[in-house]
Copies of this chain bind each other. A is one copy, B any other.
C-alpha cells in the first residue's frame, strides 16, 4: 500500500471498538480516512477521532467499497456474514472474533510472535483470543531460547471480556450487593459481586474444557506452529474490570537458570517486568489497565522440581488493549510494512 489506507471499524461503539479508535489515534496510525460502523441501533452516534466527531454508520453489504482495512469487533456472526463480503470488495479484514481463527489459510497473528505468518495477499487475518495473547507475549521468547515442554495456566479474567455490558454488570451487581439489594445477572450466569466463577463460555460435555480453555490450546499451537505444544488452562472470572491475570507454571526441556529467563524477558518486546520481592509488588490488573505492555513478575523456580526445569510467572495485561484492540492495530501496522 503506497498511498495511505482507508480504514473502517466494525463494531465501533463496543468496548473494543472504542479502544480501536483510541489505539489508531494514540499510535498515529497512518490513514486517509476512518469510518465507523455498527448496527442500526448505534448508527448516528458520534465518536471523537483526532479532534473530529465521526458519525457511526449502519453496517451494510456496501460498507466496504473503497475501504482498504476493516477492523472487526462485532462478534462472530457479524464477522462470518460480512468478512467474506469485505474480502470480495478487496478489503483486508482483521477480525477480533473467533470466527476464522482456526480456519486453514487464515493467519492468526501476535506481532511479537509470528509476524512472518502474515502473507502479502491475505484478506482475512485473525486476532487471537485475549487470554491467549496475554500468555504468549512472554512465553514465546522463553520458548525460542529454552524450549518449553509444558505450561499449566490458571487465569484471573476481567469482566471486559464480555464487553461493556459485562463491565457494567460487575459494577451494578457490586453496587446492589453493597446496598443489600437483590441483583439478577443477565450477562454472566452467576452473581459477580465479590465472587469468582468458572469462565462463562460453553463447556464441552465430553472433555470438560470450556471454550476459553480450548482456545488457549488450539490458538497457541497455531501461533507457535507447534501442533504438539502442551498448554493446559483453567479459565476463571474474577471481579476485575478490564485486565486479565494469568498464573503460569512453565516446564522447560532442560534445567532453567532463572536469571536467563529474566534476561530474556527484559529484552522481550511488549513485556515489562514488575517483580519486586522486597516490596511485594507484582503485576496487578489495576496497574496493567490502560497499559500496552504485558506486566510479568513472580519469577521464581518451582523448588519442588528436582530436575530444576520448572518455574513460575504471573502476568497481567489489559484485555481491551493487548488482549484485543492494540494487537489488531499492531497487525494493521504490520500489514502496512509488508
Stretch of A54-62, A72-80, A115-123, A298-306 contacting B (4+ beta carbons < 8 Å): A298-306
A88 at the interface (CB under 8 A from B): no
Q: What is the CB-to-nearest-CB distance from A298 to chain B, in angstroms, rounded to a whole number?
A: 6
Question: Is the CB–CB distance between B304 and A203 below 8 Å?
Answer: no
Most chain B beta carbons < 10 A, residue from A171, A232, A241, A299? A232
**Which A184-209 residues sit within 8 Å CB-CB of chain B?**
189-191, 194-198, 200, 202-205, 207-209
Q: A196-B285, A230-B305, A285-B196 are in contact. Are A205 and B175 (CB under 8 A)?
A: no
Partner of A194, one of B170, B210, B247, B312: B170
In the bound complex, do residue B236 and residue A314 qualify as a contact, i.e. CB atoms below 8 Å apart? yes
A287 CA / B189 CA spacing, docked (Å): 14
Asked if A174 is at the interface (CB within 8 A of a chain B CB), the reply is yes
Whether A64 sits at the interface, judged by CB under 8 Å, is no
Q: Are B277 and A205 in contact (CB under 8 A)?
A: yes
Residues of B within 8 A of A301 (CB): 207-208
In the complex, whether A249 has a CB less than 8 A from a CB of chain B is: yes
Quickly give the copy total for this chain. 2
Q: Tell me how far the C-beta of A106 lies from the nearest C-beta in chain B, rounded to whole angstroms.
A: 24
**Cβ of A196: which chain B residues have Cβ within 8 Å of it?**
156, 238, 240, 245, 284-285, 316
Q: A202 CA to B280 CA in the complex, in Å?
A: 7
A238 → chain B closest CB, angstroms? 5
Q: Does A164 contact B (CB under 8 A)?
A: no
B178 touches A304 (CB 8 A): no
A163 adjacent to chain B (CB < 8 Å): no
Tell me which of B156, B232, B286, B303 contacts A312 (CB under 8 A): B232
CA distance A141 to B26 in the complex (A): 56
Specify which chain B residues have a CB less than 8 angstroms from the CB of A156 in the assembled complex. 156, 196, 236, 238
A234 and B298 in contact (CB under 8 A), knowing A152-B249, A194-B286, A280-B198? yes
> Does any Cβ of B come within 8 Å of A14's Cβ?
no
Q: Total interface residues on A, using CB and 8 Å? A: 60
- Least CB distance, A190 to chain B, in whole angstroms: 6
Q: Once the chains bind, are B304 and A230 in contact (CB under 8 Å)?
A: yes
In the bound complex, do residue B174 and residue A178 qualify as a contact, i.e. CB atoms below 8 Å apart?
Answer: yes
Complex-state Cα separation, A240 to B194, whole angstroms: 4
Q: Note all chain B residues with C-beta closer than 8 A to A240.
A: 194-196, 239
Are the CB atoms of A277 and B174 closer together than 8 Å?
A: no
Is B303 a contact partner of A209 (Cβ separation < 8 A)?
Answer: yes
A256: Cβ under 8 A from any B Cβ: no
Inter-chain contact A312/B203, CB cutoff 8 Å: no
**A154-B247, A195-B285, A208-B301 given; 14 more Cβ-contact pairs under 8 Å:** A152-B152, A152-B302, A189-B280, A190-B284, A194-B240, A195-B284, A196-B285, A210-B280, A217-B304, A232-B305, A234-B247, A234-B314, A239-B239, A239-B240
Q: Identify 19 residue pairs between A and B in the complex whose beta-carbon atoms are under 8 Å apart, listed by A's number.
A: A150-B304, A152-B249, A154-B154, A156-B196, A156-B236, A174-B174, A189-B280, A190-B286, A195-B240, A195-B285, A195-B286, A198-B297, A198-B314, A203-B277, A203-B278, A205-B277, A205-B278, A232-B310, A236-B245
